[in-house]
Chains A and B, each alone.
Chain A
Amino acid sequence: MELSEKLVRGEGRFVDDIQMPGMLYLGFARSQYARAKILKITGAQLTHREVNFEVVEVGEGATEGGPAALSHPVLAGEYVGYVGQPIAAVYSDDRYVAEDLIDSVEVEYEPLKAIVDPEESLKREGMYPGIKSNAIVDRYFGKDFNPDPSDIVVERRLINRRVATNPIEPRGIVAAYDGHKLTVWVSTQSAHSIKEGLSEALKMEPDRIRVVQVDTGGAFGLKGGLFPEYVVACYLAMKEKRPVKWIETRREHLLASRPGRGVVANLRLYAKKDGTITGLKGDVIVDNGAFTGGSGEFSPMFIARQLAGAYKLPNAYVRAVSALTNKAPQGPYRGAGRPEAMYFIERLMDGLADKLKMDPVELRLINAAKETYTSPLGMQVEKSREFLESAIKELNYEKYKGRENVGFAFLILYHATAGGESARIKVEEGRLKVWTGGNAHGQRHDIFIKTLLKEELGVPEDLVDAMKGDTDQLADGVGAWGSRSSMVLSSAVIVAARKIKEQVEKKHGKYTLKALLEGNWDEYEFFKYDKTESSLGANLVTADIDSYGRVMVKECLSYYDAGRVLDPDNARGQNAGGAVQGIGQTLSEELSFDEDGLPLITSISDAGVLSADLVPKFGIKFYKSESPLPSKAKGLGEAPTIGVPIALSRAIELATGKLILETPIRPEYILPEERA
């Protein structure tokens, strides 16, 4: 059965579908306070006394060696740093009883004044004893410069508030131990990243750990990493020698997973009177949360480095800070720094256009990079003018120009191609099995794998099985994130296929499909790639606002450089899904907190996820190009979450006459005034 049909029929096998004899169900007692000292824990089966591990950083944006004192304890030690932080674990062979046991854990706290706002955090006392500053990253990019006094300046304070990743399937794991080997079934974007993380956290030899991916119901960056709960599940499976299951509830997801965004930027853009931009200054501050192990050590630098957008920016000097706050650690969410960076520069460009009374797309055209160059902030900006000219034509911008409800976004998407990816093709009994290092979590890698193998080897699609991640079947692997799979994963498959073809040729003198299918072949390829590739994109959005300030997105059009489009249907699906998330972030999705750091959003109905009645029609067109990779493709999975919030914010700005500086846009801010 086709994968999508299987999933739609409810015949997928997700982690919570796994049942094993003797299985234990794990639950967590979590912090009620945003910041507190723990005085006493009673009624718990496991606390940090038994499970004294820390979670190291793995997955997208992982950096080596953060400040060790700030690693996320698997179970809280002396302090808790956010509401929802796991303090103690309980378990039972009855799932209901496991949840009852959570309520029987009692924790005595000494509450401390929470640090909620990242900018305030920089002025406050260290969050933990021995920590002098709450800035875990504080770096400058570019070079200080003196702006020309006659330059125009646009100054903005821009905010992307925290949002939950909210995949349909929450986090979950099953762990089992046979006395020597730990086997883990998990909902993930990267089986290998989970394996690496578990090996480091549990201090176990990697070859004693097998991680198997099951059907994964959405991930959006969240499921690239390892979580405290997973480490406890594995510890318990080994301690009790029984299988252990932990499934996250939606409430736990909203409190204690790894939300994305959460970035403030205070920026000044300088330009000549003709619109040519001359420089950018300011700071970017990430709301890191209470521990490392998310993406906060990486994201401020990644955002700062991208702030030239797709433009020729001669001067720049940007401070990149990540501040400790009493919230769950920030994590990667579809785009992971890319949407924030483009939002900041693009909103500044719209502001500059207004100041100069220029058409905002005309202003973008003036500043589009005519040649590929390295921006003062460090990223290579590809030549972008040609693409923009083409986008203006293909999106029919002339038709919309001057309208009071249209927004335009011009973006550069940096693909996480660096690091490469792996693939293994095994031929036996006339069928091809394909394992890949990046694990699909809704993108349908299987479709392009089949297309490519048909091209490379002439194998009919129905003889190919695209396997889910399994670290015992594949020596190494990276992960599916950062708009990379159509580029490096596909290329690994192509190279592995070519290796097999060579083998067949070597043995039989020439390659035939018959010779391939009748033989036994097994090839592994780690496709090495060190460069960060990029591609350009544009979005055009129109929106209407009613007298109650309700926003209806009318048109949501995309024009992306996806290189060779491996599967147009899939690309359209990626575009629609990403655009819905972009609209959600702009209009309603937010994880908000009160002044004590208590989360205000604890239920899916309040999380602001878009409902179907607010979803517009989407249009997508592709720019013709080829990437330098064997697959010739370029990624696009994150493009809509980058471009749509920018274009929609502008459309709303024009429709309401109010400067849009934050996502989500609060409804009270855009409620139209009534004329008396």
Chain B
Amino acid sequence: MNPPIFEYFAPTGIDEVIDILAKYPGEAKILAGGQSLIPLLKSRISSIPYLVSLSEVKGLSYVDEGKEGVRIGAMTVDSDLENSELIRKRFPLLHDATGQLADPLVRNVGTIGGNLSHADPANDLPAVMIALDARFAVRGRNGSREINARDFFLDTFTTAMEPEEVLTEVTIPFWGKKSGGAYVKFKKNTWNFSVAAVAVQLELEGNKCTRAHIATTSVSPKSGRMESAENILVGKALTDEVINKAASEVAASAQPTTDPYGTEEYKREILRRITREAIRKALSRAGVN
């Protein structure tokens, strides 16, 4: 399997990257790990005449703790996130996800920026970032702008970025003291995409839920917030009854389709069960038993 011919650029500065993207609008694409892009090219599902690698651009790989949150460089590889003590402590939801993302070989090369920019609804990080309320710094010809994760994913493989824009940084804001999250992923074999996965992030006051974000992977054309289910949780003590109701709502409002991973009905049922598990886990991580 060999890709169609393409031109390869590896500039050292981000402005140069943007210039190349602007020169070939719609024909150039960023290579940021290549764990999705290269297979797409090799199987000739996609043809991209100009590839712009970020590998030579310095200073895009970091995990820094700031006052308001954690800032992550777009070229940070998934295994660095997985092994980050800071992430494990502050965002167990993201830690859960990076530990289950594809396999270790992919995690050693795949990057957070690539994972998000690819906007594959079967990728794990879109749902995680939406649930965590992350913000994405995006650079283009007119400087930087910020896009909220929940507004970033427009459709399968489509983001709110312009063709000449590059995702450079992800900021995950800190949540309240009594908060917790979890990512529960259901897959058949290690190297498969998930049948379904769900990201849950909760904030509580006393035993009452004040904030709830739920987003799914693999069961909709794009990852997005499951607001009707979130509304079931907010303002209530999270009893089994409330949790079950919210989980059923997530399952009902998802849009899975029948394929070799399972029937639509099966995927909804799996989603219901993993959502229930994720809410319980998030709750216990928030310190509520």
Task: Judge whether A671 is part of the interface by a CB distance below 8 angstroms.
Answer: yes
Residue of B1, B186, B189 with most chain A CB atoms under a 10 A cut-off: B189
Task: Judge whether A605 is part of the interface by a CB distance below 8 angstroms.
Answer: yes
Q: Closest CB-CB distance, A674 to chain B, in whole Å?
A: 8
Task: Judge whether B273 is part of the interface by a CB distance below 8 angstroms.
Answer: yes
Complex CA gap A367/B103 in Å reads 48
Closest partner residue, chain A, to B42 (CB atom): A249
Q: Which of the segments B124-132, B148-156, B256-264 contacts the partner chain?
A: B256-264
Complex CA gap A127/B44 in Å reads 32
Evaluate contact between B188 and A588: CB separation under 8 angstroms.
yes
Which of A588, A606, A668 meets B266, CB within 8 Å? A668
Complex CA gap A96/B5 in Å reads 7
Evaluate contact between B1 and A608: CB separation under 8 angstroms.
no
Q: Which of the segments A138-146, A410-418, A609-617 contacts the partner chain?
A: A609-617
Q: Which residues of B contact A600 (CB under 8 A)?
A: 259-260
Closest partner residue, chain B, to A673 (CB atom): B269
Complex CA gap A218/B4 in Å reads 29
Evaluate contact between A547 and B5: CB separation under 8 angstroms.
no
* B residues 152-204 touching A (CB-CB < 8 Å): 186, 188-193, 195
Evaluate contact between A99 and B189: CB separation under 8 angstroms.
no
Task: Judge whether A48 is part of the interface by a CB distance below 8 angstroms.
Answer: no
Task: Judge whether A531 is part of the interface by a CB distance below 8 angstroms.
Answer: no
Task: Bits for B226-269, please: 1 = Cβ < 8 Å to A, else 0.
Answer: 00000000000000000000000000000000011111011001
Closest partner residue, chain B, to A250 (CB atom): B1
Evaluate contact between B260 and A606: CB separation under 8 angstroms.
yes
Evaluate contact between B4 and A611: CB separation under 8 angstroms.
no
Evaluate contact between A611 and B270: CB separation under 8 angstroms.
no
* A residues 647-676 touching B (CB-CB < 8 Å): 666-668, 671, 674
Complex CA gap A103/B5 in Å reads 13
Complex CA gap A671/B4 in Å reads 43
Complex CA gap A318/B38 in Å reads 51
Task: Judge whether B2 is part of the interface by a CB distance below 8 angstroms.
Answer: yes
Evaluate contact between B260 and A590: CB separation under 8 angstroms.
yes
Task: Bits for B34-45, please: 1 = Cβ < 8 Å to A, else 0.
Answer: 000000000110
Complex CA gap A601/B261 in Å reads 10
Complex CA gap A86/B195 in Å reads 33
Evaluate contact between A592 and B260: CB separation under 8 angstroms.
yes
Evaluate contact between B4 and A601: CB separation under 8 angstroms.
no
Task: Judge whether A548 is part of the interface by a CB distance below 8 angstroms.
Answer: yes
Number of interface residues of B (CB under 8 A): 26
Evaluate contact between B193 and A605: CB separation under 8 angstroms.
yes
Evaluate contact between A99 and B269: CB separation under 8 angstroms.
no
Complex CA gap A53/B124 in Å reads 50
Evaluate contact between B273 and A103: CB separation under 8 angstroms.
no
Closest partner residue, chain B, to A674 (CB atom): B273
Which of A548, A608, A613 meets B190, CB within 8 Å? A613
Q: Which residues of A contact B195 (CB under 8 A)?
A: 667
Which of B43, B190, B259, B273 meets A612, CB within 8 Å? B190
Task: Judge whether A100 is part of the interface by a CB distance below 8 angstroms.
Answer: yes
Task: Bits for A85-122, please: 1 = Cβ < 8 Å to B, else 0.
Answer: 00000000001100110010000000000000000000
Task: Judge whether A251 is part of the interface by a CB distance below 8 angstroms.
Answer: yes
Evaluate contact between B189 and A608: CB separation under 8 angstroms.
yes
Complex CA gap A666/B260 in Å reads 9
Evaluate contact between A249 and B1: CB separation under 8 angstroms.
yes
Q: Closest CB-CB distance, A23 to chain B, in whole Å?
A: 15
Closest partner residue, chain B, to A602 (CB atom): B43
Evaluate contact between A668 and B262: CB separation under 8 angstroms.
yes
Evaluate contact between A103 and B44: CB separation under 8 angstroms.
yes
Complex CA gap A614/B187 in Å reads 12
Closest partner residue, chain A, to B269 (CB atom): A671
Complex CA gap A671/B3 in Å reads 40
Q: Closest CB-CB distance, B263 to chain A, in whole Å?
A: 5
Evaluate contact between B262 and A606: CB separation under 8 angstroms.
no
Residue of A249, A250, A614, A667 with most chain B CB atoms under a 10 A cut-off: A667
Q: Closest CB-CB distance, A597 to chain B, in whole Å?
A: 15
Evaluate contact between B259 and A667: CB separation under 8 angstroms.
no
Complex CA gap A592/B263 in Å reads 13
Q: Closest CB-CB distance, B175 to chain A, in whole Å?
A: 29
Complex CA gap A588/B261 in Å reads 10
Contact A99:B188 (CB < 8 A) given known A667-B266, A671-B266: no
Q: Which residues of A contact B44 (CB under 8 A)?
A: 99, 103
Q: Which residues of A contact B186 (CB under 8 A)?
A: 548
Task: Bits for A247-287, please: 1 = Cβ < 8 Å to B, else 0.
Answer: 00111000000000000000000000000000000000000
Q: Is the interface of B mostly helix, strand, loop or mixed?
A: loop
Evaluate contact between B190 and A611: CB separation under 8 angstroms.
yes
Evaluate contact between B265 and A668: CB separation under 8 angstroms.
yes
Which of B43, B259, B266, B270 meets A603, CB within 8 Å? B43
Contact A668:B188 (CB < 8 A) given known A99-B4, A548-B273, A603-B43: no
Which of B1, B269, B273 meets A251, CB within 8 Å? B1
Contact A251:B43 (CB < 8 A) given known A600-B260, A668-B266: yes
* B residues 38-73 touching A (CB-CB < 8 Å): 43-44
Complex CA gap A667/B266 in Å reads 8
Q: Which residues of A contact B262 (CB under 8 A)?
A: 666-668
Task: Bits for A545-586, please: 1 = Cβ < 8 Å to B, else 0.
Answer: 001101000000000000000000000000000000000000
Which of B191, B261, B274 meets A611, CB within 8 Å? B191
Evaluate contact between A605 and B265: CB separation under 8 angstroms.
no
Evaluate contact between A605 and B263: CB separation under 8 angstroms.
no
Complex CA gap A606/B262 in Å reads 12
Contact A606:B2 (CB < 8 A) given known A668-B263, A671-B269: no
Q: Which residues of B contact A606 (CB under 8 A)?
A: 192, 260-261
Complex CA gap A608/B260 in Å reads 10
Which of B2, B191, B265, B270 meets A95, CB within 8 Å? B2
Complex CA gap A613/B187 in Å reads 12
Closest partner residue, chain B, to A25 (CB atom): B2
Evaluate contact between B4 and A100: CB separation under 8 angstroms.
yes
Q: Which residues of A contact B266 (CB under 8 A)?
A: 667-668, 671
Q: Closest CB-CB distance, A676 to chain B, in whole Å?
A: 10
Evaluate contact between B1 and A100: CB separation under 8 angstroms.
no
Closest partner residue, chain B, to A27 (CB atom): B2
Q: Which residues of A contact B269 (CB under 8 A)?
A: 671
Complex CA gap A667/B189 in Å reads 12
* B residues 61-110 touching A (CB-CB < 8 Å): none
Residue of A99, A250, A550, A592 with most chain B CB atoms under a 10 A cut-off: A99
* A residues 54-86 touching B (CB-CB < 8 Å): none
Complex CA gap A242/B272 in Å reads 60
Which of A251, A588, A590, A668 meets B189, CB within 8 Å? A588
Evaluate contact between A547 and B4: CB separation under 8 angstroms.
no
Q: Closest CB-CB distance, B197 to chain A, in whole Å?
A: 13
Q: Closest CB-CB distance, B189 to chain A, in whole Å?
A: 4
Evaluate contact between B191 and A601: CB separation under 8 angstroms.
no
Q: Closest CB-CB distance, A123 to chain B, in whole Å?
A: 26
Complex CA gap A671/B263 in Å reads 12
Closest partner residue, chain B, to A610 (CB atom): B189
Q: Closest CB-CB distance, A11 to chain B, in whole Å?
A: 22
Which of A96, A603, A608 meets B188, CB within 8 Å? A608
Closest partner residue, chain B, to A98 (CB atom): B2
Q: Which residues of A contact B188 (CB under 8 A)?
A: 550, 588, 608, 667
Contact A601:B189 (CB < 8 A) given known A547-B273, A548-B270, A667-B266: no
Residue of B188, B193, B266, B269 with most chain A CB atoms under a 10 A cut-off: B188
Contact A96:B4 (CB < 8 A) given known A548-B273, A611-B190, A611-B191: yes
Closest partner residue, chain A, to B264 (CB atom): A668
Other A-B contacts than A95-B2, A550-B188, 11 sampled, CB-CB below 8 A, are A96-B4, A103-B4, A250-B1, A251-B43, A547-B273, A588-B189, A601-B260, A608-B188, A609-B189, A612-B190, A613-B190
Q: List 17 A-B contacts (CB under 8 A).
A: A95-B2, A96-B5, A99-B2, A251-B43, A548-B270, A550-B188, A588-B189, A600-B259, A600-B260, A605-B191, A606-B261, A609-B189, A611-B190, A612-B190, A667-B195, A668-B266, A671-B270
Q: Nearest 8 A-B pairs (CB), nearest first?
A: A668-B266, A611-B190, A611-B189, A249-B1, A96-B2, A600-B260, A99-B2, A668-B263
